[in-house]
Chains A and B, each alone.
Chain A
Amino acid sequence: MSLSPQEVQKQVLTYLETTECSIIEKSPYHVTVKLSPQADKQLTNRPYYWGFIERTGAEPETLSYTFVFDPDQYNEQTAKTPPPSAPPQPQDSILSRYFGVNPAGPRIGPGRIPREDVTYGSSRLQQIWAVARQEGSCVYLFEQPGPLQRETLFSAPYEPWLGVCFKVEMTCDVKKEALHFIGISLVTGQIDPQFARRLETLQLGPRLPENIHIQPGSLSLAGAANLLEKHMKDHLAGEDYAWAEAARERLREELAVIDMYYEDLLKETEEEKLTAIREQYDNRRSEMTWQYEPKVNLSAITCGLFHLRSIRL
């Protein structure tokens, strides 16, 4: 999967808005932005600067960037509208006779806004994803009810759900991955394998809405986690493992080749040499196993507790 410039732009803007950066200029191809202190700390890798600001209490000066999402289009656009040229410099002022003429080069120093191309595969986008994962890994949210709920007589029952976005990595000498965003109700133990789709339709916020009550859970968090893992395991057991068998077959072949190669060498009679050869042999075998041995990794990208309006009444 790859992302179009528009999709990249949408994701970057999401980040910039969430971190409350101030957007100076925007086109379909680029955005010029002054970072908020939060975003500056997360993106610019200036720990000493921020350490200085925090210790001295000085007013922070955050950096600005022009992020270009579609370099070709942007270049075309900027070529059509050349930047206003600098005012002609007096070439023969008295001062310049003494100090020389300072040529009007590109602006550097404070106030200069560096340009950066942000496309799929760029390190900036990777960094923003990494920050998002770090900052957004754990959430605690409530479904926001419509305006009618506040006025109704009865408080609405809410059901807590544990939602986890699992990542499955099937690894041998090559690799395949899959994401499973699933949820489990802490009240009923019901598992929703399409939890992400359910969340898409809802308004979610961090604040507890008025006039609702949360049903007590019958499942502990750890118990729910176990059930989710079991669900994943059952799902994984149903997958096709031909790839693993093929990898084991490759491993067997490689090991057989190595065994054959070392067979004679291991008949070495000199003790010292034999030890060296045996060590080499063992290393080679363990390298091969490391390279080919199939395994499955299950980890979570993000997780959270979602309090959703109970559908059952």
Chain B
Amino acid sequence: MKTSHLGSGAQAGDLPVPLNIDRSWLDNLESRLDKGGPWGDFRLFQLAVQGEEARLVTSFDELQCVKHLQDLSPLPHQIDTARRVLFEMSGRAILADEVGLGKTIEAGLILKEYMVRGLVSKVLILVPASLVLQWVRELNSKFGIPAVAQKKAYSWHSDVVVASMDTAKREPHKDMLMEQEYDMLIIDEAHKLKNKKTTNYQFIQKLRKKYCLLLTATPVQNDMSELFNLITLLKPGQLGRQGDFAANFVVGKRQAKNEDQLRDELAKVMIRNRRGEGPVQFTKRTVRNVSLQLSPEEQALYDGVTSFVKNQYKASGGNLSSMLSLVTLQREVCSSRDAVFLTLVNLSKKIPDDSPLTAEVWELVNAIRNIKANTKAEKTIELIKDMNEKVIVFTEYRATQEYLLQYFQKHGLSCVPYRGGMNRGKKDWMMDLFRGRAQVMIATEAGGEGINLQFCHHMINFDLPWNPMRVEQRIGRVHRLGQQNDVKIYNLSTTGTIEEHILNLLHEKINMFETVIGGLDVILERFEKQESFEKSLYKLFLESESDEEIRSKVSSLGQSLDLIKREIEYEDAETVIEEEA
């Protein structure tokens, strides 16, 4: 292609910007004149011009993409987000909507807009391996963007490639990507890029990119400096130098100061739509807590494990960090004997044979042997048969999942598993099976990320995670945009166990199942200024002597959460008043 580049100053009265003139048309015309053709049809000539006219971008700041979409009507907050990213943030932004508000749709809109405008053609999209095919499918079907999943080395040459971060950062892929220039880079689940020292972070920092979107539902998980790192990836210096940032905005690890100023600065690079806001309507959630009585054998195991864990905690002198596997044990005993058994076996392998602990562990194993039935599983079957519709059962433990699969199948329920360790193809297959044939899906927490199950509106929490955000994520799989029905949530809990207290805390105190709490993350963030929520719970249980003590401690924990919630509501109300004034 012959181009003549006229720099400024070539002629007086020239343009104030560089002008590129593409003259290939003249070569083309001359060579056809020499050869006497071939000449085009005038109707096609006109059609080509009409086509150009029809997709001409006649304005710098008007969203084009929506009219290009056939099978998608984006929601107002999604269109608004796209507009802001394009015209206020110049295409570099963190999309941090809460779970279920359609971050993928927003990213798709932005990408489509840039492609329609001819500003982007080469695109790299990095997502967790489990989401690769879903992204490809959505971009193709909803946006008509010809995205391909990276499978072989040559896939990198396609214009729009979706790949997993883990693949991309490895050799030989890494070198190939470093040589490229990407008009746009999109990263899903970007909160994994919070640590500057990781290879992921450094890899992304080195990639050459023009526009960049980072998608995450949880921009701040633990630490203010994580947020700083995320933004530095996008626009270094937006929050000042590292030192300035620490001095201006950070008090404690999780505590910000000058919050208004920080919020203003953040608003320049980050968009966070919340569930409680705007015209987005969600269906209702109804919750039923199913209280169960453990069988005497199960109760014996529970008591045995509890006293074993407590004794160990005392023996360790209150050192929580060495207790993690034991705390797990305490949680597993509320789920299934299978889960406990596995952990016990692993534990016994670690302790020396002559230790007195071995005997204690084996005693517990014997207690497991005595258990003939799983009270919770029996109840679950009963529930599922009553509702007679599709239902997703969540458990935290792989062993429980295996057990339930067998147990349900034995009772004639068609069910499929879903877990984080499955490869992409299998996950997709499981989703399709669940949609088409199976009545029940049994998912472990790892499988929670990124699966969309709008077609199902029953959900059973076989056991509960101790982290409220994870509970919210579970619910978010089902209770999201596109859900037509009210969502029914069943929580199983056994009386007289810590589970009862946890459920009490989450349900009664935070009321997290029924109301969609937009600001759950904010509440937790504030609470966790002192200590992580889960850790507080561990301590509380390990250090309490009686059920009564636990009850009162849980209730005071609940109160402090409630206090924070009101504080935030009050502040919000105040800002509204200020804005109105």
Chain A interfacial positions (CB closer than 8 Å to B): 1-3, 7, 11, 14-15, 17-18, 117, 119-123, 125, 128-133, 135-141, 164-165, 167, 169-171, 173-179, 181, 196, 204-206, 221-222, 225, 229, 233, 236-237, 241, 243-245, 250, 254, 257-258, 260-264, 280, 283-284, 287, 290-292, 294-305
Contact = CB atoms under 8 A, between A and B. Distances in A.
B235 A121 contact: no
B50 to A, nearest CB: 6
B21 A177 contact: no
Contacts of B51: 11, 125, 128-130, 132-133
Contacts of B49: 165, 179, 181, 196, 301-302
Nearest to A296: B19
Given A173-B90, A221-B30, A291-B91, A135 B44 contact: yes
Contacts of B26: 221-222, 225, 303
Most buried by B among A1, A136, A292, A300: A136
B320 interface: no
Given A287-B209, A298-B22, A206 B39 contact: yes
Given A257-B238, A292-B90, A295-B17, A175 B48 contact: no
B269 to A, nearest CB: 11
Interface in B40-91: 40-61, 67-70, 86-87, 90-91
Contact of A136 (B42, B57, B232, B240): B42
Contacts of A125: 51
A250 B144 contact: no
B37 interface: yes
A164 B60 contact: no
Contacts of A164: 25
Most buried by B among A17, A117, A121: A121
A189 B17 CA distance: 28
A59 to B, nearest CB: 25
How big is chain B's contact interface, by range? 35 or more
Contacts of A138: 25, 28-29, 32, 39-40
B208 interface: yes
Contact of B119 (A1, A137, A171, A243): A171
B381 interface: no
Contacts of B243: 264
Contacts of A177: 56-58, 118
Contacts of B86: 174
B522 interface: no
Contact of A261 (B14, B118, B209, B236): B236
Nearest to A279: B206
Contact of B29 (A2, A130, A221, A241): A221
Nearest to A230: B11
A7 B67 CA distance: 15
26 contacts: A2-B67, A7-B54, A17-B43, A129-B47, A136-B47, A137-B28, A138-B25, A139-B45, A141-B39, A141-B42, A164-B25, A165-B52, A174-B119, A179-B53, A206-B39, A222-B26, A237-B14, A254-B235, A260-B240, A291-B90, A291-B91, A295-B20, A296-B17, A300-B22, A301-B49, A304-B39
Interface string B1-19: 0000000000101111111
Given A11-B51, A284-B236, 20 more contacts: A14-B46, A18-B41, A129-B52, A132-B47, A137-B48, A139-B45, A140-B32, A175-B57, A176-B58, A178-B58, A233-B15, A243-B60, A257-B236, A283-B206, A287-B209, A287-B210, A291-B90, A298-B21, A301-B49, A302-B48
Contacts of B91: 173, 291
A11 B58 contact: no
Interface of B: 11, 13-26, 28-30, 32-33, 37, 39-61, 67-70, 86-87, 90-92, 117-119, 144, 146, 181, 205-206, 208-211, 232, 235-238, 240-241, 243
B27 to A, nearest CB: 10
Contacts of A136: 40-48
A277 B420 CA distance: 37
A167 B52 contact: yes
A284 B92 CA distance: 13
A302 B238 CA distance: 45
Nearest to B36: A140
B118 A175 contact: yes
Contacts of A280: 205-206
A68 B13 CA distance: 51
B13 A302 contact: no
Given A174-B87, A287-B210, A11 B50 contact: yes
Contacts of B16: 241, 244-245
A122 B144 contact: yes
Nearest to A222: B26
Contacts of B211: 291
B56 A303 contact: no
A1 to B, nearest CB: 6
A175 B49 CA distance: 19
A140 B45 CA distance: 11
B41 A120 contact: no
Most buried by A among B16, B68, B69, B237: B237
B3 to A, nearest CB: 9
B44 A132 contact: yes
B554 to A, nearest CB: 46
